[in-house]
């Protein structure tokens, strides 16, 4: 019987109500479109737990819905155990990265942490995904534009890995 290698990806921001749940929902859509959703497990979490249990920010949900992306995630705080459950833990900005680095229990866990900017190909001026919480509508649109760029790259990387493992 064929066994599929599942890649488990966790997107992380501060509150888990704007950027990372949007990344999660968008990457699900991209994965579906690219035919790789069967080899992916996708989730998101926040370094701050103050919004735990809440649906995403309505401004983020509205902006995503306008691009055909439905967001149903309930916020949760990232936990040390997540490093055992996920293969890639992708931080939206440097503060998130540093918080994850402190939480990681060992070197192997630290090596699972990435910055979302590593996947940006068409937005070289951005070294992080800016927090839109105190911004206007444009802030949310910018987040989605950057996420589209990085999610496409990530899907391509995973598709290539899938292709090489099938040979
Ligand atoms: P996120 O945005 O990290 O993209 O979910 C924020 C959400 C909430 C807060 C900050 C950023 N907050 O301070 O409550």
**54, part of any domain:** yes
Ligand 1 mean position, distance from CA 19 (Å)? 8
pLDDT tens sequence across 100-136: 999 999 999 999 999 999 999 999 999 999 999 999 9
Q: Which residue has the tokens 């991209």?
A: 30
Q: Is the pLDDT of residue 40 over 80?
A: yes
Q: 51: domain range? A: 7-162
**84, part of any domain:** yes
Atom of ligand 1 nearest to the CA of 50: 14
**114, part of any domain:** yes
Which CATH number do you get for residue 141?
3.40.50.2300
Q: Is the pLDDT of residue 41 over 90?
A: yes
Question: What is the pLDDT at residue 164?
Answer: 76
Q: 165: which 2 tokens?
A: 């493992």
Is residue 74 part of the annotated active site? The answer reads: no
Mean pLDDT of the chain: 96
Mean per-residue pLDDT for 156-167?
A: 82
Q: Is the pLDDT of residue 141 over 70?
A: yes
**35, part of any domain:** yes
Is residue 87 part of the annotated active site? The answer reads: no
Question: What is the pLDDT at residue 3?
Answer: 66
Cβ 82 vs Cβ 99: under 8 Å:
no
Q: Which of 13, 18, 29, 151 is catalytic?
A: 13
**Total number of domains constituting the chain:** 1
**1, part of any domain:** no
Question: Closest by alpha carbon to 40, among 12, 11, 76, 77?
Answer: 11
- Give burial (CB, 10 Å; 0-12/13-18/19+) of 27: buried
Phi, psi torsion values for 43, nearest 5 degrees:
-150, 175
Is the shortest distance between the CB of 19 and ligand 1 below 6 Å? yes
Is the shortest distance between the CB of 14 and ligand 1 below 6 Å? yes
Cβ 104 vs Cβ 122: under 8 Å:
no
**167, part of any domain:** no
**131, part of any domain:** yes
Q: Whose CA is nearest to atom 12 of ligand 1?
A: 15
Q: Which of 19, 61, 115, 117 is catalytic?
A: 19
Q: Is the pLDDT of residue 2 over 70?
A: no
For residue 70, what pLDDT band results from cuts at 50, 70 and 90? Answer: very high
Question: Closest by alpha carbon to 56, among 26, 100, 99, 96?
Answer: 26
Q: 132: which 2 tokens?
A: 């839109």
**16, part of any domain:** yes
Q: How far is CA 148 from CA 4, 79, 95, in A?
A: 26, 27, 22
Top-confidence residue, 2 or 130: 130
Angle (CA) 35 31 101, round 5°: 140
């Amino acid at each position: 019987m064929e066994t599929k290698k599942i890649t488990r990806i966790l997107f992380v921001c501060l509150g888990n109500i704007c950027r990372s749940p949007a990344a999660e929902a968008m990457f699900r859509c991209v994965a579906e479109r690219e035919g790789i959703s069967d080899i992916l497990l996708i989730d998101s979490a926040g370094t701050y737990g103050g919004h735990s249990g809440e649906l995403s920010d309505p401004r983020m949900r509205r902006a995503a819905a306008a691009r055909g992306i439905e967001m149903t995630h309930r916020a949760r705080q990232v936990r040390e155990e997540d490093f055992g459950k996920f293969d890639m833990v992708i931080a939206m900005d440097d503060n998130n990265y540093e918080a994850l680095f402190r939480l990681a229990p060992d070197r192997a866990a630290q090596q699972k942490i990435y910055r979302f900017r590593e996947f940006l190909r068409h937005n070289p001026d951005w070294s992080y995904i800016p927090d839109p919480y105190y911004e206007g509508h444009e802030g949310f649109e910018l987040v989605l534009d950057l996420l589209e760029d990085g999610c496409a790259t990530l899907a391509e990387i995973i598709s290539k890995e899938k292709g090489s493992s099938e040979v």
